[in-house]
Structure 1
Amino acid sequence: MTSPAVDPAPEAHKATPASRTDTTAAPARRITGTVWAALGVVYVVWGSTYLGIRIAVETMPPFLSSGARFVTAGLLLAGIIAWRQGPAALKVTRRQLGSAVLIGLLLIPGGNGLVVLAETSIPSGLAALLIAVVPAWVVILRAATGERPGLGAVGGVLLGLVGLAVLTLPGLSGDVKIGGVVLVVVATLLWSVGSFSSSRLPMPANPFTASAYEMVAGGLAGLLIGVVRGEQHGLDLTAISGRSWAALAYLILFGSLLAFTSYAWLLQAAPLSLVATYAYVNPVVAVLLGALVLNEALTWPLLLGGAVVVGGVCLIVSTERRG
């Protein structure tokens, strides 16, 4: 699956389990070259979306822009699926649709939406680095359901938590708004629950179809939240900058269609603890882009915390490769 969202071909569908109606824990999954290619997309492209979000919210309301992003991407993906595989590929059972909607609500307005809101008050690099807590939640959820994560995974999580502690220092000292930091941490919990649950619910067999329904449902919820928050009041589309429009277009085409769909596929095709390592790599990309494009400061907590969490990914990846 080298271009999962652009070309959701049947061959890519065959790489996934034939059915997601079994709610028992999935067996060990072999880490193929296709998995690594999809993981690379999530690593790099999603790392750049933090910069895109920061630029978009310069002149766009957070939840309305996030909701519009995912509704548009979801409808585009559904159209591509219908074109490439036929309308029948979009058919799902009521239970599968309900599961996809639930996961979409957790991942998009819960996980992504809160991060977008947080980036109105904190730097994009810091927001990305705070996402490092995701693997910690995943390991806790796995342990709560009776699984026993390996020592490497546990060690990687502990390193990530140490890095997270270092990264919160600017917020505690008043250099950034602690409210934004809290929003990101809550977002990581909701995102982790959604990611963890997706492999245990009766999801559509085609991961691209699941992704389309998740994005549309989550995007509509984001738009509703934006309206409830009153983001539409005083909104002047002519006042939105060209670079914010460009950032939104990038988020739709690359952040949602390409990277989010890759992530949805990985949730069904790869070990969850391996998929969660994107949370360690994305920050490196985000911090570098934030510094280069937006001149965000590279403070010692960012550099030290980033180095610690990147060390964590090495432990988790090496553990999964031996599994």
Structure 2
Amino acid sequence: MSTATSLALRPNALLLPALLACYLVWGSTYLAIHLALPSFPPFFQMGTRFLAAGGLLMAWLLARGQALPSATEWRNALVIGVLMLGGGMGLTAQASLHIGSGLIATFIAVVPMLTCGWGLLFGKRPSALELLGMAIGLVGVALLVQGASFAAAPGGLLCITGATLAWSLGSVLSTTRLPLAKGPMGYASEMLCGGTALLLVSLALGEQPTWPPTAAATAAWVYLVVAGSLVAFSAYLYLLAHATPALATSYAFVNPLIALFLGVALAGEVVTTREWAACAVVLLGVVCILVAGQKSRKH
């Protein structure tokens, strides 16, 4: 009996809720970022979000008696936080000023492919299926950026490209050269360091939040802190411990679909037929990468 089959037969009441949390919550965070922008500028929004979430998580862990990260783990958290949250999420929010949330989510779906590419620098050779997935994904991205939305916003395209490169590099470093503290403590330290870096960038850019913020922007920001940074991440940790790797990482191709639907249905975003086709090609490449990763773990 395969691992996936045995997992499906093993009763687990929290598996489906955890999957839905990762799919629906992370898929909707792109729209939440967009809705918070009128009152919370990009880097200020992300900085305050991660400082709040990181502070809450750190306080909860310390109350449970967990030890603080070591000096080396704090250093690693600073580097990873700057890359993944400072560069990755900060530039994603900046791109949201110019490009629809659904298309941004689809572009970010290439992160697994970029992670494979960065892995080459650390001696990780991709399999034939991973190379195929990367090639398909690149074709999809090429089609996507030629669409009307990206063509009309070269600055947004530059930001989201930088975001995916920074996030994927941080992902590789965190699992190879710069490991974080184990478990949620590592994520809490990363959020605190990344949030601080984001606020410093916000200060340097002279960002000015609107005060008082609108009700919609405030609700979106709270949603990002509580649901996006705490609930969904806890659900993801649960999936990593109780589900197959392929199932746990399946959010990578489900989130863009949810983000596209929400952007069109709730925010009036326009996605052309060509862009829908490009999204399908990108997601096909992601599926190849995930299947290849699952096969490599079995051997």
Matched, 1:199 2:170: no
| Equivalent AA in structure 2 for residue 308 of structure 1 | V
The structure 2 residue matched to 1:109, chosen from 74, 79, 86, is: 86
**Does the CA-based 8 Å contact 2:86-2:194 persist in structure 1?**
yes
The structure 2 residue matched to 1:227, chosen from 203, 208, 227, is: 203
**Does the CA-based 8 Å contact 2:110-2:282 persist in structure 1?**
no
Q: Report the alpha carbon displacement of residue 202 of structure 1 after superposing the two structures with TM.
A: 5.0
| Equivalent AA in structure 2 for residue 68 of structure 1 | T
User: 1: distance between equivalents of 2:282 and 2:233?
Assistant: 22
| Equivalent AA in structure 1 for residue 231 of structure 2 | L
User: 2: distance between equivalents of 1:269 and 1:228?
Assistant: 43
User: 1: distance between equivalents of 2:173 and 2:237?
Assistant: 12
Q: Deviations over 1:217-268 (max 9, x none)?
A: 1111111111110113xx4412x21111000000001111123455678899
Q: Percent identity?
A: 36
Aligned to 2:286: 313
| Equivalent AA in structure 2 for residue 257 of structure 1 | L
The structure 2 residue matched to 1:285, chosen from 258, 279, 283, is: 258
Structure 2 alignment gaps of length 5 or more: none
Aligned to 1:21: none
Matched, 1:59 2:39: yes
TM-score, length of structure 2 as denominator length: 0.85
CA change 1:210–1:262 in 2 (3 A) is farther
The structure 2 residue matched to 1:169, chosen from 146, 156, 165, is: 146
Tell me the number of residue pairs that the alignment of Structure 1 and Structure 2 aligns: 287
CA change 1:275–1:98 in 2 (3 A) is farther
User: 2: distance between equivalents of 1:285 and 1:203?
Assistant: 31
Q: Report the alpha carbon displacement of residue 165 of structure 1 after superposing the two structures with TM.
A: 1.0
**Does the CA-based 8 Å contact 2:264-2:270 persist in structure 1?**
yes
**Does the CA-based 8 Å contact 2:32-2:224 persist in structure 1?**
yes
User: 1: distance between equivalents of 2:239 and 2:73?
Assistant: 18
Q: Report the alpha carbon displacement of residue 47 of structure 1 after superposing the two structures with TM.
A: 1.3
| Equivalent AA in structure 2 for residue 61 of structure 1 | P
The structure 2 residue matched to 1:49, chosen from 29, 45, 54, is: 29
User: 2: distance between equivalents of 1:185 and 1:152?
Assistant: 24
| Equivalent AA in structure 1 for residue 260 of structure 2 | V
Aligned to 1:190: 166
CA change 1:277–1:183 in 2 (3 A) is farther
CA change 1:264–1:225 in 2 (3 A) is farther
Q: Report matched runs for 1:233-312 at 5 Å.
A: 235-238=209-212, 240-260=213-233, 278-312=251-285
Q: Report the alpha carbon displacement of residue 178 of structure 1 after superposing the two structures with TM.
A: 1.3
Aligned to 2:101: 124
TM-score, length of structure 1 as denominator length: 0.79
CA change 1:257–1:46 in 2 (3 A) is same
CA change 1:196–1:225 in 2 (3 A) is same
Q: Report the alpha carbon displacement of residue 203 of structure 1 after superposing the two structures with TM.
A: 3.1
Q: Report the alpha carbon displacement of residue 211 of structure 1 after superposing the two structures with TM.
A: 0.5
User: 1: distance between equivalents of 2:30 and 2:149?
Assistant: 22
User: 2: distance between equivalents of 1:267 and 1:117?
Assistant: 30
Higher helix share: 2
| Equivalent AA in structure 1 for residue 263 of structure 2 | G
Q: Report the alpha carbon displacement of residue 301 of structure 1 after superposing the two structures with TM.
A: 2.7
- Residue range with higher mean Cα deviation, 312-321 or 129-138: 312-321
User: 2: distance between equivalents of 1:114 and 1:173?
Assistant: 15
**Does the CA-based 8 Å contact 1:207-1:265 persist in structure 2?**
no
**Does the CA-based 8 Å contact 1:74-1:212 persist in structure 2?**
yes
| Equivalent AA in structure 1 for residue 56 of structure 2 | L
CA change 1:266–1:164 in 2 (3 A) is farther
User: 1: distance between equivalents of 2:85 and 2:159?
Assistant: 14
Q: Report the alpha carbon displacement of residue 316 of structure 1 after superposing the two structures with TM.
A: 2.5
Q: Report the alpha carbon displacement of residue 46 of structure 1 after superposing the two structures with TM.
A: 1.4
Structure 1 alignment gaps of length 5 or more: 1-29
User: 2: distance between equivalents of 1:97 and 1:121?
Assistant: 34
User: 1: distance between equivalents of 2:185 and 2:223?
Assistant: 21
Q: Report matched runs for 1:5-20 at 5 Å.
A: none
The structure 1 residue matched to 2:115, chosen from 116, 133, 138, is: 138
